[in-house]
């Protein structure tokens, strides 16, 4: 091995001690001198390692309740000394500083403490100072020193010590140094985000990505950075793909809009079926009836538990993913008959308040569209007022339309999406697509509600709706030609409602 260095001394200061035993065995076998403090020293001694206290080296005890233990020239001098510089070695000898060849650190669990809901006092105490300093010092001097920056690397170190008899190459030390700066930068990022949650600075750090089945297409590789295990438990099926993840995200955003039992079918992030009802099985049948063709191979999502009877019905359909808060044991037995079918049990977690997208040579960041329509916000623009049933559909339709790709139109009736126009370059084309879809599936448009994600630039859309029997229209309003639309609705006894909120989605 080129530029190899034999490890003769080590400093160990860790939070998580599990996994140190194989390293301790190598310390004893290779005769590596060990320096440590506090609980780490006690644990290593219990493993039979002869430990030199850092306090004996520095002639200073641990002070300020343990806040200062290793911050001392006799520690950092032994780490930062350049072994190929005569002046550095002379100073080590002059001040009786032993060189340290290996530093093992595992930082206080700051992220975990924040996630636990601990008090700010406890959180601040979990900001590691001495450990970070040790990591940076050892990583900087990787030409001569080996750094192990977290418990994740304990196993790697133990294997190297055993297989290479305590001798590491420059390449191995450099690799661990890079890992050390990844650990320290990740740690600092989360401290910053805790202390300044509203900052304009974009600080993101995520380690150890989940490799997805593939990217948007099979020839593209895809990764997810984050903790999938905090969002859901996978109960069955193949590995997730990039498209699965995008659809799952869209499915969760949609289903969280509803309080009544709700079921939705997602295809390419668009709801192709969605319904609410008094019971979940009724919502499922209504959602599927909204577009049974597009449901094939889709993503299914529910906001209530899946029981045996409902599972038997769902099992008849080929689908990629089913996401729900829970599944009965009998339901799982039915649904797991398809080995590659992905079943996800949702866990309680909050979606981020902002969305992020790479764009050109930078990033686009925006607040997520969290606006939820309230009846008291509605602006009635014509004399004809909605019935209570129509009003319920106005709210339901606006929520569904919010999750369709623009230009978008949703036609709903009795808590069911019966027609949708998505991704069209003109609003009238989106409306015609939605009407055509509803009619082809045999739905009667009389009594339906039309929802639009943005204003109508002309009166042609409400004229088209009227021609096909739709009498209630909800849209944001805001066009310079709103009066034309208002006048048409007034003259044709149509109910026109403005929300004042646009919901573009690209």
**Active-site amino acid positions:** 140, 268
Whole-angstrom Cα distance, residue 373 to residue 104? 54
Give the DSSP letter of residue 405.
P
Distance, CA of 303 to CA of 299 (rounded, Å) = 14
- Say if residues 1 and 169 touch (Cβ distance below 8 Å): yes
Q: How far apart are CA 18 and CA 9, in angstroms?
A: 21
Long-range contacts of 312-316 (CB under 8 A, 24+ apart): 313/281, 313/284, 313/285, 314/284
CA 482 to chain centroid, in Å, comes to 40
The packing angle between helices 154-163 and 21-30, to 10°, is 30
Yes or no: say if 146 and 101 are a contact pair by the CB < 8 Å rule. Answer: yes
What is the helix (H) or strand (E) element at residue 35, kind and residue range?
strand 33-36
d(CA 429, CA 427): 5
279, 261 Cβ separation under 8 angstroms: yes
> Which of 260, 396, 249, 269 minimizes the C-alpha distance to 323?
249
Cβ contacts of residue 245 below 8 Å, gap of 6+?
A: 212, 222, 224
Contact 416, 264 (CB under 8 A): no
For 160-177, the DSSP string reads HHHHTTTEE-HHHHHHHH
Distance (Å, whole) CA 166 – CA 28? 11
Query: Residue 5's closest CA among 111, 205, 160?
Result: 160
Counting Cβ atoms within 10 Å, is residue 154 exposed (0-12), middle (13-18) or buried (19+)? buried
Residues contacting 452, CB < 8 A, separation 6+: 401, 408, 409, 427, 430, 431, 461, 473, 474, 475, 476
Sign, Cα dihedral of 75, 79, 84, 87 = negative
CA–CA distance, 263 with 276 (Å, rounded to integer): 7
Cα 404 from Cα 267, distance rounded (Å): 10
Round to whole Å and give the CA distance between 55 and 403.
61
Query: How many Cα atoms are found within 13 Å in the side-chain-facing hemisphere of 419?
Result: 28
Q: Give the span between the Cα atoms of 460 and 411, in whole angstroms.
A: 17
């Amino acid at each position: 091995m080129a530029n190899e260095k034999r490890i003769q001394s080590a400093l160990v200061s860790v939070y998580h001690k599990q996994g140190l035993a194989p390293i301790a065995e190598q310390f004893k076998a290779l005769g590596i001198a060990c320096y440590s403090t506090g609980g780490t020293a006690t644990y290593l001694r219990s493993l039979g390692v002869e430990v030199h206290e850092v306090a004996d080296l520095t002639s200073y005890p641990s002070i300020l309740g343990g806040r200062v233990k290793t911050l001392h020239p006799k520690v950092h001098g032994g780490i930062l000394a350049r072994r190929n510089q005569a002046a550095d070695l002379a100073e080590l000898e002059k001040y009786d500083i032993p060189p340290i060849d290996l530093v093992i650190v595992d930082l206080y669990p700051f992220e975990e403490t924040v996630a636990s809901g601990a008090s700010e006092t406890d959180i601040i105490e979990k900001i590691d100072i001495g450990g970070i300093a040790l990591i940076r010092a050892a990583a900087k001097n990787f030409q001569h020193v080996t750094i192990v920056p977290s418990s994740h690397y304990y196993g790697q170190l133990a294997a190297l010590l055993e297989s290479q008899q305590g001798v590491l190459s420059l390449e191995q030390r450099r690799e661990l140094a890079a890992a050390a700066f990844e650990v320290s930068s990740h740690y600092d990022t989360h401290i910053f985000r805790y202390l300044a949650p509203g900052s304009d600075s974009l600080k993101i750090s995520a380690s150890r990505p989940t490799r997805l089945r593939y990217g948007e297409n099979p020839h593209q590789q895809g990764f997810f950075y984050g903790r999938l295990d905090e969002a859901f438990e996978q109960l069955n099926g193949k590995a997730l793909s990039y498209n699965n993840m995008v659809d799952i995200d869209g499915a969760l955003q949609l289903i969280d809009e509803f309080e009544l039992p709700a079921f939705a079918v997602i295809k390419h992030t668009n709801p192709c079926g969605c319904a609410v009802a008094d019971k979940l099985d009724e919502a499922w049948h209504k959602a599927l009836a909204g577009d049974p063709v597009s449901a094939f191979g889709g993503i299914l999502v529910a906001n209530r538990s899946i029981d045996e009877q409902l599972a038997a019905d769902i099992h008849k359909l080929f689908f990629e993913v089913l996401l729900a808060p829970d599944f009965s044991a009998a339901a799982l037995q039915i649904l797991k008959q398809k080995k590659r079918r992905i079943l996800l049990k949702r866990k309680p977690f909050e979606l981020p308040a902002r969305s992020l997208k790479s764009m050109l040579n930078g990033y686009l960041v925006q607040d997520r569209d969290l606006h939820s329509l309230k009846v008291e916000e509605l602006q009635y623009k014509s004399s004809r007022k909605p019935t209570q049933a129509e009003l319920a559909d106005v709210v339901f339709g606006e929520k569904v339309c919010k999750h369709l790709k623009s230009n978008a139109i949703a036609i709903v009736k009795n808590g069911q999406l019966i027609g949708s126009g998505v991704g069209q370059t003109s609003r009238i084309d989106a409306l015609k697509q939605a009407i055509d879809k509803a009619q082809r599936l045999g739905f009667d448009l009389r009594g339906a509600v039309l929802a639009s994600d943005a204003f109508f630039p002309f009166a042609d859309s409400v004229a088209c709706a009227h021609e096909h029997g739709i009498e209630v229209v909800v849209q944001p309003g805001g066009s310079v030609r709103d009066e034309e639309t208002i006048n048409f609705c007034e003259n044709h006894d149509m109910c026109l409602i403005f929300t004042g909120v646009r919901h573009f989605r690209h």
